[in-house]
Amino acid sequence: MATEMDELIEQLKTTSVSQGDATTTLLCEISATKDPKLFDKHELAECFLRLTQSEDTNVRKEAAKCIAEITKSEVQRKKFTKREIIAAFLECLRHVPTEDGSMELPIQICRALGNICYLNDEARDLILDLKGDAVLLQLLDIATIEDAANAPQFIKVRGGLLSNYLLGGEGLAKRAMELGIMQKLQAMIDNGASNVEQHEDLLLNTLPLLSILTENVADLNFEAQLNIQLSRILAASTNPDLAEMCLELLHYQAESDEVKLLLAKDGLCETIYNLLEKYKTLASTSEARALMKLACELIVLVLTGDESMHYLYTTPLLKNMVDWLDSTDIDLLTTGVLALGNFARTDSHCIYFVEQQTMNKLLQVLAKNNGVKDDVRLQHALLSALRNLVIPKPNKNAVIQAGLVQTILPMLEIHQPPVVFKLLGTLRMTVDGQEKLALELLKNKTLIEQLVHWSKSSDYAGVTGESLRLMAWLIKHAYLNKIAYALPRKGDAPAEQIADKIPLSQDYDRSSLNEFLANEGTVEAMVSMLTAQHLVMQNEALIALCILSVVYLSKSGEPEQAQRLQDQLIECNVGAKLAELITKSSDSMTKEIVENLQNCINLLKTAEKLVPHLEQHNINELLKSIPILTEYCTL
């Protein structure tokens, strides 16, 4: 085969251009090759340059066709990257459509130039230098193609040529923007959207150019009309490739809240819902499933905008998403949950979902999917939604009564960080103001042991933080109301005054806190939390330690328990942690944190063993360095 090709090439080199028929025959034979690498050893550019300048249109056409085949090889792409060849091709394209209306020659030139440009920055730079980008973009102005038989092929190769050129990067894309490519593409898409089925080829070869521009031009925002057209094309098309292109482009654009609202009002989410309902049973291949997920994700993305979410709350989409809670398809089910979680971003919506039993449906779904082997994405979505629902105070008791805690506690066996993070956050929101529940959970040995473990060993900062915060919240919401009167509103009360205020009689049940402290590492967790990165966590740690001090270091406390807590606090080096807290955070401390800090230190000083420990770390002097206290003193 190689020898035969060598002979054909030698004949071509010795054939006169004037011998039109003989040259055309040779070119046809050469272009029929199936292996472009057969050309690699030959130097063909000069020979073909001569042929592209022939006055015989057929010779020029077959020469361009040959070049298109030859330059499928990387070696020949480089050899054909010559200014003269590219200039000759651009000159020809400048006069498209031709006088006779035939598209055969332009098609072959687009193919040849497109292949030369493929992964070839040198060729792209030559086109730019020759101002050929304007010539290429001019091809987009051809709306009516008289050569009907070759129209589909021209549309395809025109798109391919421009794609291969624009893939050269940001500079070429921005230059194309300056030359008005977006207006040209908008016109073509408007034309295509008028009859999607008829203009399917046009759209399939135009939308990729939009994708390339989107990837190469930062913050490229489409005109509202273009986004609406993409939405309409998605609704009208039955071609999965076209649907995928529309979805991907809309994904890019819907990062903007303004576009989210535009698409919401245009009915995009309802369109996607209807398409998914229509085709859900056909999503049996991996490609179809990927397309389905892309569509689902776009619904959720649109709902992340505040205005778009509020608008869609008033549309049938809300009921559609509730209906998907009954779906057996994991992607539709997860999308329904994610959508409802996004709707549940206001108290009024959350209260409505509880009143309408939507919350119960979410709990039923979670009860079926709360195991180690269940879908992590669905679990994360469910916990996110339930966390939002439990935030409004009117909802808390209803959600607790419906069995939220019993449903999510088995999920402690799951160790996927995103799920754990949401699980702990949901529990923390649930115990807010719920004394009875907090008391119960403090006694849950499995929960507390797991929280201590995660607070020390998680590689995921969010899980560490939420573990510590949940323990602090359990202590606070179980006991703060019981001992609050022992804490002065201003933190500067002397330790002996605080000691006198601490109740002498045990008029509250300490059993929950006793069981909490019986778990190894709980005191250490609260002390370590003092030096957390976030001020809110530092404050929560101070409140928890204040409560522990009131309950156990008072005169009414059992001496053995008081001694044990003092020993644990010293072992955890509470003095060093307090010193570190003041040193690192004093400049940013709020009035509330400073008061809690003073209360905590004064309470600790009521314990005999802790006084020298705190003095060892110079706590009194460090307190005086806190700016907010200095300001009070100088007023």
Q: What is the mean pLDDT of residues 278-286?
A: 85
pLDDT at 2 over 70: no
Pick from 30-39, 321-330, 382-391, 494-503: least confident = 494-503
pLDDT level of residue 24 (50, 70, 90 thresholds): confident
Q: How far apart are CA 105 and CA 493, in angstroms?
A: 94
Q: Where on the phi/psi map is residue 357: left (φ > 0), alpha (ψ -120 to 50), or beta? A: left
pLDDT at 635 over 50: no
**Which CATH code for domain 433-491+508-634?**
1.25.10
Q: How far apart are CA 38 and CA 17, in angstroms?
A: 23
Residue 555's pLDDT is: 65
Residue 604's pLDDT is: 95
3-state SS of 513-570 is HHHHHCCCCHHHHHHHHHHCCCHHHHHHHHHHHHHHHHHHCCCCCCHHHHHHHHHHHH
Residue 485's pLDDT is: 66
pLDDT at 347 over 80: yes
Q: How far apart are CA 466 and CA 454, in angstroms?
A: 9
Domains 1-220 and 433-491+508-634 share a fold: yes
DSSP secondary structure letter of residue 325:
G
Q: How far apart are CA 385 and CA 493, in angstroms?
A: 44
Query: 417: which 2 tokens?
Result: 């960080």
Residue 504's pLDDT is: 44
Instruction: State the chain's mean pLDDT as an integer.
Output: 91
Q: Which residues neighbour 338 within 8 Å (Cβ) at sequence distance 6 or greater?
A: 300, 303, 381, 384, 385
pLDDT at 14 over 90: no
For the chain, what percent of residues have pLDDT higher than 70? 94
pLDDT level of residue 628 (50, 70, 90 thresholds): confident
pLDDT at 493 over 60: no
Q: Convert the pLDDT of each residue in 242-268 to its tens digit.
A: 999 999 999 999 999 999 999 999 999
Residue type, 124: R
CA distances (Å), origin 631, targets 102, 624, 626, 628? 87, 11, 9, 5
**Which CATH code for domain 1-220?**
1.25.10.10
Q: Which residues neighbour 34 within 8 Å (Cβ) at sequence distance 6 or greater?
A: none
Q: Convert the pLDDT of each residue in 552-593 to its tens digit.
A: 987 666 788 889 999 999 999 999 999 999 999 988 999 999
pLDDT level of residue 495 (50, 70, 90 thresholds): very low
pLDDT level of residue 501 (50, 70, 90 thresholds): low
pLDDT level of residue 505 (50, 70, 90 thresholds): very low
Q: Which residue has the tokens 């025959």?
A: 25
Alpha-helical (H) ranges within 371-444 are 376-389, 393-401, 404-408, 417-431, 435-442
Domain limits, the chain: 1-220, 433-491+508-634
Count of CA atoms in the C-beta half-sphere (13 A) of 41: 7
Q: Is the distance from CB of 319 to CB of 273 less than 8 angstroms?
A: no
Q: Convert the pLDDT of each residue in 32-71 to its tens digit.
A: 887 878 888 888 888 888 888 888 889 999 999 999 999 9
Q: What is the mean pLDDT of residues 96-100?
A: 86
Q: Which residue has the tokens 């004093």?
A: 586
Higher pLDDT, 273 or 628: 273
Q: Is the distance from CB of 183 to CB of 132 less than 8 angstroms?
A: no
